[in-house]
Amino acid sequence: MRNLVAILALMLPTPGAAQSVATTRTIRAGAILGAGDVTVLDQTNRGAYRREEQVIGKETRRILYPGRPIARDDIGAPAVVTRNQVVTLVYDNGALTISTQGRALSRGGIGDHIKAMNLSSHAVISGMVSAPGEIRVGP
């Protein structure tokens, strides 16, 4: 019984161990977070970042307010494609590669899924931002 109590005590979080990252000031959407913009709070929130290095260099997706933990959806990779930017749409399937021009319908960072309009056919398609000015579409 004593061993069970000791094991359970080790499994419980210790005071100060649970942390969340929050901003030190109000930060507008589209800003890149720097070391002076964030601090670590002695509280935990589900879905919030826990270490400063996880958020530094990321772009804010919405306004962030001081003292509020930064959630996973609040930030992302810095945008390398902007809304209405002419981009290269690339379809790559083994030996077959097709590329054409398109227009991005939203902003996105590398790895983000966004929609674009094919400038030749005017079809709206979804793809993943793979590089600055490039969206991969298809399989």
pLDDT for 17: 56
List of domains in the chain? 13-75 (3.90.1210.10), 79-137 (2.30.30.760)
β-pairing, 113-118 vs 96-104, is antiparallel
Q: Could you read off the pLDDT of 2-23 as tens digits, one per residue?
A: 554 445 444 544 444 579 999 9
H runs (alpha helix) in the chain: 2-11
Q: Could you read off the pLDDT of 87-114 as tens digits, one per residue?
A: 999 999 989 999 999 999 999 999 999 9
DSSP codes, 44-84: --TTB--SGGGTTTPEESS-B-BTSBPBGGGEESPEEE-TT
Q: Could you read off the pLDDT of 34-92 as tens digits, one per residue?
A: 999 999 998 878 888 999 999 999 999 999 999 899 999 999 999 999 999 999 999 99
CA–CA separation, 43 vs 45, rounded Å?
7
CA–CA separation, 27 vs 60, rounded Å?
8
